[in-house]
Amino acid sequence: MTTNGGSAWTNPLQGQIGSNGTCWDIHMDAGGNVWGTLGGRVMKSTDGGSTWTEISKSSAGSTGLPRSGGRIMFASASDDADYIYVVQITSGNALAGVYRTTNGGDTWTKIGQKSTYFDPFCRTQCQGEYDLAVGVDPSNKNRIIVGGITVWEWEQGQGWNQVNGFGPYNIHADNHDVIWHPTDSSKVYMVNDGGIYFSNNGGTTWQTLNKNYSTTQFYSIGISSDRYVVGGTQDNGSWVMDGSGNTPNEGRTLGAVDGFSGDGGFSAVSWLVPKIYFTEYQQGRIGRSENKGQSFSSFWDNRSSQGIGSWMTPFYLYENSADPLSQDSVDFKVEQAIRSLGFANAGQDTFTSKIVPMQTSANMITSTFKVQSGNMLVVSDASGNLSGDGSGNLNAATGEFTVVFNSSPAAEIIATVDLAFDAGSEIIAGSNTNGLPFKYILPNAMGMGDSIVIQDPVSSMFVVGFSGSIWMTRGALDFMVTPEWWKLASITGTVQSLEVSADGDYIWAGTSSGRLYRISGLQGARSYTTADLDSGATAVSVDLVDNYFGRNITSIAVDPNDNDRVLVTLGNYNNSNYVYYSSNATDASPTFVVKDGNLGNFPVYAATFDKGNSNYAIIGTEFGIFSTQNINTTQPQWGADNSGLARVPVFTLKQYRTNKSSTNDMDVLEGDIFAGTYGRGTFQTTTLQTTRPLDISERDMEGPVDQLIKLFPNPADDKTTMEIKLAAGDHTIQVLDLNGRVVTSMPYTAASNGVQRIEVNVSTLGNGLYIVGVPSVPASFSRLMIVH
């Protein structure tokens, strides 16, 4: 209690009774009396809190108020100090009873108790300790509203009636307060996990009042390569802000996991396969989606399904498009180049086109070139001269050809040519993961029909932290099979936080009881025998490297430029030392030192290094975001960075980091920070965003930027934009498969001569490699497009 505005506080119960119990509620009635709870007791003060008397009894009888085994909440009539209502919750979070007094607490009547029909705090589970609201109608002291998971009203002589249901009667679950309008008792508000609900008829019907009210509580967020934010929220499921709404801030809900939703948790979007989403709901219900989050399914095998998830079970999706130790492989076979010219118009016998190998390093064997339509066949000699059922010529250097049949052909016209490769030729191969392209240098010359097995460098890891164990699969992106899961470690405690190093060799795991584990050797963990703890000797080492004894390890951050530099943050109130840092984290016995500096004693929930300046560290705390310019100093100076962001708990910080670009630009932006808050939604800052030149291996894999036709993005998902110089007039855009056949086409009219930008819809195409071109510009059919 304070009598000077908070400058000093005293415990008015000190020395009177045991004063170490939980105080669930403090309430003042209409007469100025103060009601409070302490350790299951109901206390009353008539002198402003200086002295207190227990009103509850250990043996209450029929007219007394019993002590409670759980939470207690008060409500009182606004015009009569004698009318007090008390809601008591059991130690199991169910309803213990609703009591009222009409004489200031001298005697009590039990007006509600748990039954098969009535318990506002239980559904599939009971949670009265979390959600409890009670209020008295200011126009009728004999009527109250009680809210928990469901909302009920009680009126003397009428009994209990549920006031929320479906349609106009619906009120979101998990209610925390009920408030009447101060001058109009017909207006009442419910405050819950769904926001604010309003009734203008005393509680008969309800509507939401959440427009521009951004208070979503995000437990965790993930970032897509397109900077979409995906995350799980308290009692409002999982969401993605993908720009599909009317404003950039709008999002859409993600699907349920095996029919279950509710409280969303950790979420991620694949950067290798952007249509693959991952999310979870409470108690470890983790699922994956291959349709951008519209529907999810779990993907455990028999062993991993036995893992015990926590309230929010942490997982981490690690992806690598250039894994030098990958054990996956793909086949490359030398096959003919094919070009379909379609069908002849009536009387047409002359055709000009271009045949283009899918691989720019391929050599066309001119003497094998032929054009066929039904029984009609035109062949080439070594110089490109055509003969047979027609004549013409082939330019072997460009692939352009003209053929004149002796008569107009009736069947589809197909041109083919055999190919060969020199030793040292660079080819583009497609990964098993979504057909993603990668470059490979052929060690030997190859002719028609030859094949070679080459390493597939695209890989991923999906790591999950359970209670007592940590599991991993490398098959989370493959929807053709149920992935094989490997048990990496048995640990003590429940995993609360996970982080993977940039090279994928280290996993860091922190538990809710303060144990910090390091798992190393992941680059060698490629099979059951090399990764699974139950297989015996593995390539993986598990070390308990620190213990913060009873503290919750809320987050771990690894410097993306240096595996030795690791930040650890801790939660829990009434403690000191919330930020720890190591500069030798991969050593056999690493040292973690306190880096609180001038921060203050409050929980820290999230941390990240700045990739562009690793001395710069950013943390999310109970009171918003703080950063330091130099984490290496003995006493870092932390400064608040909350401009545009309220002082609200920040549970997640993610920096946008990339080694690849999906655009046709010659540089890439990275470094912006995304924050997931527990109460104000998500935020982004571009303060640390930098422009990084693309490495030569990142640039357009087809050749110089001044080529005849450009595509961006490439690889493409739903659509791509083609840039090409066309003459004014009507044209057709064609997409060809590897057999040279048209799989989709669209008309286009160029209003004037010059470079055109044309949006091409590829959403109906399967994953793979295609050629895009314009028949009116034969040389344009040289552009490889990847669809994933």
Domain spans in the chain, listed from the N-terminal domain onward: 26-208, 218-325+458-691, 329-455, 705-787
Give yes or no for a contact between 521 and 539, defined as CB atoms under 8 angstroms apart.
yes
Record the pTM.
0.82
How confident is residue 697, by pLDDT bands cut at 50, 70 and 90? very low
CATH of 705-787, one of 3.40.50.970, 2.160.10.10, 1.10.287.3510, 2.60.40.1930: 2.60.40.1930
CATH topology of domain 218-325+458-691: Methylamine Dehydrogenase; Chain H (2.130.10)
How confident is residue 249, by pLDDT bands cut at 50, 70 and 90? low
Q: What is the pLDDT at residue 631? A: 98
pLDDT above 60 for 60: yes
Instruction: Give strand pairing partners of 391.
Output: 404
Sheet holding 252-253, edge to edge: 218-223, 229-233, 237-241, 252-253
Residue 384 is encoded by which pair of tokens? 């490109």
Q: What is the mean pLDDT of residues 580-595?
A: 98
CATH topology of domain 26-208: Methylamine Dehydrogenase; Chain H (2.130.10)
The residue type found at 286 is I
Length of the chain, in residues: 788
How confident is residue 659, by pLDDT bands cut at 50, 70 and 90? low
Q: What is the mean pLDDT of residues 676-705?
A: 71
Q: What is the pLDDT at residue 737? A: 80
pLDDT above 80 for 245: no
Instruction: Give strand pairing partners of 684.
Output: 674
Identify the CA nearest to 413 among candidates 340, 337, 338.
340
Q: What is the mean pLDDT of residues 334-346?
A: 91
Identify the CA nearest to 150 among candidates 94, 72, 90.
94
Give yes or no for a contact between 495 and 511, defined as CB atoms under 8 angstroms apart.
yes
* pLDDT one-digit tens code per residue, 5-41: 888 988 877 655 555 678 999 999 999 999 999 889 9
Q: Do the domains spanning 26-208 and 218-325+458-691 agree at the CATH topology level?
A: yes
Q: What is the mean pLDDT of residues 195-224?
A: 90
- Measured distance CA(276)–CA(290) in Å, rounded: 4
- Measured distance CA(277)–CA(268) in Å, rounded: 6
* pLDDT one-digit tens code per residue, 737-762: 876 778 889 999 999 998 999 999 98
Q: What is the pLDDT at residue 125? A: 87
* Alpha carbon separation from 704 to 130, 358, 664 (Å, rounded): 61, 17, 11
pLDDT above 90 for 214: no
Q: Which residue has the higher pLDDT, 157 or 777?
A: 157
How confident is residue 706, by pLDDT bands cut at 50, 70 and 90? very low
- Measured distance CA(209)–CA(223) in Å, rounded: 29
- DSSP character for 528? H
Q: Largest Cα–Cα distance in the chain?
A: 114
Task: Return the minimum-mean-pLDDT range out of 195-199, 503-507, 655-659, 768-772.
Answer: 768-772
Give yes or no for a contact between 664 and 632, defined as CB atoms under 8 angstroms apart.
no
Give yes or no for a contact between 312 and 231, defined as CB atoms under 8 angstroms apart.
no
- Measured distance CA(419)–CA(337) in Å, rounded: 7
Residues 6+ apart with CB under 8 A from 363: 419, 420, 421, 422
